[in-house]
Structure 1
Amino acid sequence: MPKPIRIIAGLGNPEEKYERTLHNAGFWFVDALARKYGGSYRYEKKFDADFCRINLHGEDVWLVKPQSYMNLSGQPIRAVMDYYRLRPAELLVAHDEIDLPPGTVRLKAGGGHGGHNGLRDIIRHCGADFLRLRLGVGHPGEKHKVTNYVLKRGSGDVEAAVERNIDDAIDMMPDLVDGDVNAAMKKLHTKDQTVD
């Protein structure tokens, strides 16, 4: 039986210049959760992360934004998990996904990193047995353009599609907090609204 989600980590880069870049879609998601559920972030040195607790569907859930930069996200997440004695199966990681078009969001259990350096580092520190919320941001078409693409703002249509995906993902969070991954996937995967 799947474990209920108790820690949600959003991936992104901490500097203000990256705040609205596509690579920070994971931060956008946990920020939206904090707004909806009255969470207030504070920096925790022992985790090297911005951190807050929310009450979601009657359960305490910890939101984490590593401040170590995307490619070094694993250690801050591991530190929170160790401190609260949480297992990888209780972790949801929200991140940008270039292999999905804007307007598509997917929930995935386990697996590899798919070339995402933030996921690579989390797998190195925590193992691969965690849920991923893959927020589609699209692909620039050529591999050598990916870094520049994700480290800038998306078009208005792309940003709006990602924000809609975030709203849809927030709607399925009570199912994840209850440990019902199948119900969450069903809700989420039937709401795609891709942008051409």
Structure 2
Amino acid sequence: HGASGIALLLIRRYATTGDTALLDLAAGALRRDLERCRAGDDGALLVVEGKRLMPYVGSGSAGIAAVIDAYLAHRPDPDLEAAGRALLPAALSAFYVQPGLLRGSAGLLLHLAATPLCDPADRRRAIDRHTDLLGSHALPYGGGLAFPGEQLMRLSMDLATGTAGALLALGAASGRPTGLPFLPAAPAAHPAATAAPQTGPSRGRGNTTVQ
């Protein structure tokens, strides 16, 4: 979603081409999204959406943080790493209204299971808390369990809003290598990943621009 979605596309393209100009553009896109953030009452860096501050994967802090993690797998950047750590508290709260993957606690659970920027003790506590929170949303259905979707109006089997997303997150929390398309649990670095940001003209494969 937003500039971070563009950044993720550029990062994945870099992984197949090695064109470092793509990482330069990805960093710029991430910084544009970070400019939309502001600190909440607890100091967490949150995305501003109208009058609300959003922590979620689909359109919030955790989504930007996940793409920062993907970027840092290819190139160190102290400023973006610091931003990723500042975004992290948004995923550590005790309560979220919805269980969904893109706009609920399942997505935050998935991010916490994958990010290398979280203190291990904080990660364990938050994963346990979010797992319990997901459990509180589970409802009997067809001899098993299912989860309510957007706005908790009805049961959903969707990846984005309901049961499939909750199962994906719980799998990640249990230690299984689980991720989303374009956001694998442990993104592989390109052989040229140690390259520092270029200060001169790009030597990548042709010119790359983003409007």
Q: Considering the TM-score relative to the shorter chain, is it more than 0.5?
A: no
Normalised-by-shorter TM-score class: under 0.3
More helix, by proportion = 2
TM-score, normalised relative to structure 2: 0.24
Task: Kindly indicate whether structure 1 or structure 2 has the higher relative contact order, using CA contacts under 8 Å at least 6 residues apart.
Answer: 1
